[in-house]
Amino acid sequence: MSTVGNPANIFWHENPVRKVEREKLLNQQGCVVWITGLSGSGKSTLACSLGRELQSRGKLSYVLDGDNLRHGLNKNLGFSPESRTENIRRTGKCIHKLSIGEVANLFADAGLICIASLISPYRKDRDACRALLPDKKFIEVFMNMPLQLCEDRDPKGLYKLAREGKIKGFTGIDDPYEPPLNCEIELQLKDGVVPTPHEMAGQVVSYMENEGFLEA
Ligand SMILES: Nc1ncnc2c1ncn2[C@@H]1O[C@H](COP(=O)(O)OS(=O)(=O)O)[C@@H](OP(=O)(O)O)[C@H]1O
Ligand SMILES: Nc1ncnc2c1ncn2[C@@H]1O[C@H](COP(=O)(O)OP(=O)(O)O)[C@@H](O)[C@H]1O
């Protein structure tokens, strides 16, 4: 009888190099910055700006972008509620698909600052990713931009297609986005103006500095 997939026959092998040692080497705390928000709200832009800012401070980060991962790791996934959940967190039903939450957790364990940028519309999925990580190592950043702004931007023309009924189940149009209830950072308009990517990245970096993530 095959024992493949039987957790009873799988054992944890301890790595002699501990996470704190890796963090000391990098002089930073491994963590996940999880950027959530509507399509077009600026997630990828913030992820890039934050990555650049951290790099300039000598901090090692890596971006996991939903759109990009759907070209590779998760290319067989669609946008049904089940697929979105699978994209973000392995449900255990499908052994071939990698969960971004699990991957982000591995990056954080490696000592990196993992920047995950996904719509991640469902609260339960984000909370499940949070639960994968040690306490306070999951920094949820909510891109709280109005739907109208995202739709006006529509850089890929997807909102237009969704309004025309040519894409079904589009987040914010005919599929829900559940805003976070207790995120660490909320980014929003200031006096009706969108902060620059640099300003937004600065807000995240300030939080990380204050919370001690940028030193071992
Ligand atoms: N139905 C539907 N709803 C929402 N988004 C859609 C859809 N179909 C395609 N796209 C494009 O896919 C990008 C979102 O992928 P994600 O992996 O971040 O989505 S999710 O977290 O699994 O919901 C998203 O990219 P971003 O604009 O960068 O968010 C869209 O370009
Ligand atoms: N802070 C910002 N100020 C002005 N334009 C922005 C800002 N952030 C993003 N944009 C623009 O909005 C569009 C969508 O941004 P993007 O980062 O692709 O969003 P998402 O990853 O959430 O879909 C892009 O054309 C981008 O240049």
Closest listed ligand to the CA of 200: 2
Identify the bridge partners of residue 140 per DSSP, sorted by sequence position.
34
Kindly tell me if the per-residue pLDDT of 206 is higher than 70.
yes
Ligand 1 geometric centre to CA of 87 (Å): 11
Complex-level ipTM:
0.99
Is ligand 2 within 6 A of the CB of residue 45?
A: yes
Ligand 2 geometric centre to CA of 45 (Å): 5
- In ligand 1, the atom with minimum distance to the C-alpha of 44 is 28
No. of helices (H) and no. of strands (E), the chain = 9, 5
Pocket test for ligand 2, best of 45, 147, 156 (most atoms within 8 A of CB): 45
- In ligand 1, the atom with minimum distance to the C-alpha of 65 is 18
Query: What residue ranges define each of the domains in the chain, with the CATH number in brackets?
Result: 18-210 (3.40.50.300)
Alpha-carbon distance 56 to 73, whole Å?
Answer: 28
Write down the pTM of the prediction. Answer: 0.94
* End-to-end Cα separation, the chain, in angstroms: 47
Alpha-carbon distance 54 to 19, whole Å?
Answer: 20
Alpha-carbon distance 24 to 48, whole Å?
Answer: 25
Is ligand 2 within 6 A of the CB of residue 41?
A: yes
Model pLDDT, residue 86: 73
132-185 pLDDT per residue, tens: 999 999 999 999 999 999 999 999 999 999 999 999 999 999 999 999 999 999
Model pLDDT, residue 79: 87
Q: Residue 89, SS3?
A: coil
Ligand 2 geometric centre to CA of 13 (Å): 43
Is ligand 2 within 6 A of the CB of residue 144?
A: no
56-105 pLDDT per residue, tens: 999 999 999 988 888 877 787 888 888 887 777 654 444 333 488 999 99
Ligand 2 geometric centre to CA of 48 (Å): 11
- In ligand 2, the atom with minimum distance to the C-alpha of 195 is 1
Alpha-carbon distance 171 to 66, whole Å?
Answer: 14
Is ligand 1 within 6 A of the CB of residue 45?
A: no
